[in-house]
Structure formats: C-alpha cells, structure tokens
Amino acid sequence: MEYWDKEKSTMIVIERQIWNATVANLTLMALGSSAPEILLSVISTLKDIRAVPPELGPSTIVGSAAFNLLVISGVSIIAVGGEDGEIKKIDDVWVFGVTAILSVWAYIWMYICIEDNKVNVTEGVMTCVFFVALIVISYTADRVNSYRVQQRRTQEERDEADRDEEIKLKKDQIRRIGREFSDNAVIEVAQGINSNNTAQISEQTKKEIRDLFCQIHQVDKVSEIAVNDLLESMQPETLLERFAYRKRNAGNAGDFIRIKGAKGQLEHDEQAKKLVNDVNEYVGFKCLHYSVTESNGHVEITIAKKIISQEITIGVRTINDTAQAPRDYTHIDEIIEFGKRDTEKKIRIPIVDDEEWNPDLEFIVELYDPNKLEGEDRLPGDDTRCRVTILDEDFPGTIGF
C-alpha cells in the first residue's frame, strides 16, 4: 500500500502480507506446480467422457505428488548446509505434521476410491471436502505455532529485561561500595590484586565485590575480564553520580588539559612554519594535522593526487598512537583508486563519542602501496602520513550555588 505524506513530501510504502504462507503453499503453489498434470488428466477425461480414461493422467498426478513428498523433501534436507552430524530441525513442526499425516491419508483414500475400478460422485465430493479440511487444519496449526513462537519471544524478552534489571542492581551495589572506598580499590579487589588501596576493605566486602562482578559478567574468575569491561561497570549513569565520579577521578585533569591544548597549538604552529621538502611526487595528504572533537562523530581527511591523466591505486590505513581502536575511533584499511580525472579523494574515519573524561588522544593515518609486503609498503614522503588529534569535551565539571 502506498500513500503520499504531505508533511515529509515523500511516498510512504507499507508492506502487508495478504496470503498466509501455509495456505499459499497448499493452494496457489500446488496448483501452479501441478497444473500440467491436472490439465493432462482433465483433457484425457473430457476427450471421451464415457470411455475408460487412459492411465497417463492419473499416473502423472500420483507420480508428481510422490516426487514432491519424498524426493523434494529429501533433497531439501540434504541441501541444508552444516557440519557433519548436525541435527536439522523443522521450523514449523505443527504444519509439517499435519501435511505429512494428511498426505499419507491421501494415498490411502485414493486406494479406497479406485479399489473397485470406478469413482462415484460421493467419493469425488469427499475428496474436495478433504482438501478444504487440509487447508483449514494447516492454517489453524500455523496460527497456533505463530502464537507459541510469539509467547516464547515475549517470555525471552521478559527474562532479558529481568536480567538487565538484576545486573543494574548489582552495578548499583558496586557503585555504592566504590563511593565508600574508591573505584581503583574496587577494581583491584575484583581482579585479586592486593595493594594499599585494598587494605582498608574487609574480607567479607572483598568477597561481595568479587561475587558481584562474576555474576554480572557470568564468569568464574574476574581476572579473565578485561580492565575496560570492569571500568565500564563502574561508569556512573546519573547526573549527580557523574559529578561525584569526575570529582573523585579527575585529579589534576584541568592542568593536563591546558598542557595538552598548548602542546597541540604548538604542533600546529610548528607545522605551519615547517617546509616539507621530502614529498611524494604522486600523491599525499592535503593537510598533515587534523583536530576533531569527540562530538563531531567523524573526521574527514583529503588525499590529493599530484599528477594528471594517470590512474593510481593506493592503500590508506590508521595506526594507533595514544588513541586506540576501536575504543576511541574506528580502524580503517581501504584501497583508494584515482581515475585519470580524479584530483582528490576523501575518507571518513568514525570517532567514538563517550561520556568519560580522557586527555586529548592521537592516531596516525598513512598511505601505503597495496602491492608490497606489510612493513615495506609505506609510500615515501613526509606528506604520506598525517596525525589526527581527538579533542575530549567531557571536562570534569563543577557544581555550586
């Protein structure tokens, strides 16, 4: 169904299922696949209605049904990929069971009808009634199965919500302990590290911390979990908690931000004054130092081709420095193709915007020759490598009256 949305000035298309898949398989598809056999049987019967019909028509119908029931089902099961010994399950057991049982009954009913070498009107009407009954029963089984699947999914969603709520409560318990002592002490206890930070925590509280972390991450030993995962569990979720968290963890962060900002400005000034003599004669970055804020979400870097009427294929990749992928940005390793008329290509590198305070971080973007071995493939020239600085906007805050 289509209609024009005046507010958005666009055509809205809504797709709705008209036919039930089970009913369509038993009617439209069955009629389409068996049409030649049915027409052959009808034509041979109408040719001389009073004579005994030839065997070709009924034989093709029986043969087609047997082939579909046995061979097609067998080939479909074999064709499904999977490792050796893998058990293949039927998606809709109810419908499969109904059609399988009634298909066998169809062969029994056909034998009953032709046992005396003739088919009367009653047997013909009963055959049509059985077909209608097949469709109704199969449709009912399909709806029952759909209802059961929906109920199961709803229950799984409820269980997942309960699990999330349980984890949230456990994280709240950990934050409460962290406010009483310190985040570093709590993490060290969870990892089994004894230090001056953990000396003030009782053995009972230590056991409670380790049990909470194990329940959250569903492991036996917390030491198997990366430190980043532990830190993520400690992250504050409310505004007041965030103020307390920054006050507790920032330290002299403001001084470091000013130092880092001054360093970045100095690098920009030096880069502006620097004369780059060792440049690549074919291709290079248009700018050798980019700065981007976390909230921007990405940085766009321009690669310039310096020669005309020639095709060039190069590779571009990112290299970790103080910024680490995928925590701070998304690593890329792409092949760039310049056509004869192309002069510039732009690449977009996603930046991760988190709510945790970090110092300004940096990573490298460089050009390389995809036809050479790694380690020896970087293109020569100072302008084939540029630096990207990620400016953190999550400054430790202050609150007051």
Q: Could you tell me if 50 and 119 lie in one domain? A: yes
**Residue 167 counted as domain residue:** no
Q: What is the pLDDT of residues 44-94, one digit of tens each?
A: 778 777 777 777 767 777 787 778 778 887 887 777 766 666 677 777 788
Same domain, 273 and 325: yes
Residue 387 and residue 288 in one domain: yes
Q: What ranges make up the beta strands (E) of 146-200?
A: none
Contact by Cβ (8 Å): 152, 194 = no
63 neighbors 33 (Cβ within 8 angstroms): no
Same domain, 222 and 277: no
Are β-strands 385-391 and 289-293 bridged in parallel, bridged antiparallel, or unpaired? parallel
Q: Both 113 and 227 in a single domain?
A: no
Query: Is 166 strand, coil or helix?
Result: helix
| CA-wise closest residue to 59 among 75, 73, 38 | 38
Q: What is the pLDDT of residue 316?
A: 93
- Residue 289: what are its φ and ψ, rounded to 5°? -150, 120
Contacts of 231 (CB under 8 A, 6+ apart): 187
Give residue 257's pLDDT: 37
370/316 Cα distance (integer angstroms):
9
Distance CA 191, CA 284 (A): 47
Instruction: For residues 352 and 230, state if they share a domain.
Output: no
Decide which of 234, 266, 296 is a domain's last residue: 234
CB 392 within 8 A of CB 296: no
169 domain-assigned:
no
Give me the CATH number covering residue 378. Answer: 2.60.40.2030
Residue 84 domain-assigned (yes or no): no
Q: For position 253, what pLDDT does the model report?
A: 38
DSSP letter for each residue of 321-385: SSS-TTTTB---EEEEEE-TT--EEEEEEEB---SS----EEEEEEEE-TTS-TTS-BPSSGGGE
The verdict on 261 and 384 lying in the same domain is yes
- Do residues 186 and 205 touch, judged by C-beta distance below 8 A? no
Residue 277 resides in a domain: yes
Structural domain ending residue among the three candidates 112, 137, 154: 154
Q: Please, what is the average pLDDT of the chain? A: 77
Question: What angle, 0 to 180 degrees and rounded to 10, lies between the N-to-C axes of helices 121-180 and 93-114?
Answer: 170
So what's the pLDDT on residue 29? Answer: 80
Identify residue 293 by its one-letter amino acid code: T
Please give the pLDDT value at position 54: 72
- Would strands 312-320 and 298-305 be described as parallel, antiparallel, or unpaired? unpaired
Q: To which H or E segment does residue 160 belong?
A: helix 121-180
CA nearest 126: which of 140, 106, 141?
A: 106
398 within domain boundaries: no
Among residues 154, 172, 197, which one ends one of the domains? 154
Considering the domain architecture, whether residues 199 and 303 belong to the same structural domain is answered as: no
List, as one string, the DSSP characters of 2-45: EEEETTTTEEEE-----S-HHHHIIIIIHHHHHHHHHHHHHHHH
**Tokens describing residue 325:** 């992928």
CA distance 354 to 348: 19
Q: Are residues 385 and 270 in the same domain?
A: yes
In a domain, 204, yes or no: yes
Contacts of 145 (CB under 8 A, 6+ apart): 92, 93, 94, 95
What's the N-to-C CA distance of the chain in angstroms? 58
User: What is the pLDDT, as a whole number, of residue 66?
Assistant: 79
Number of neighbours of residue 121 by Cβ within 10 angstroms: 7
Q: What is the pLDDT of residue 259?
A: 37
Q: Give per-residue pLDDT as tens, 230-268.
A: 555 555 555 445 555 554 544 433 333 333 444 455 555
Q: Is residue 357 part of a domain?
A: yes
Contacts of 123 (CB under 8 A, 6+ apart): 112, 113
Q: How many domains in the chain?
A: 3
Query: Helices marked H in 181-308 — which ranges?
Result: 183-190, 203-217, 227-234, 239-249, 253-273
Q: Which residues pair with residue 300 across a beta bridge?
A: 348
Assess whether 213 and 328 both reside in one domain: no
| Domain of 209, in residue numbers | 181-234
Q: How far apart are CA 362 and CA 329, in angstroms?
A: 10
Residues 96 and 143 in one domain: yes
Q: Are both 271 and 229 inside the same structural domain?
A: no
Residues of the chain with pLDDT under 70: 1-9, 57, 81-86, 178-179, 183, 217-277, 393-401
Question: How far apart are the C-alpha atoms of 169 and 164, rounded to whole Å?
Answer: 9
pLDDT at 125: 92
Residue 113: per-residue pLDDT = 87
112 in any annotated domain: yes
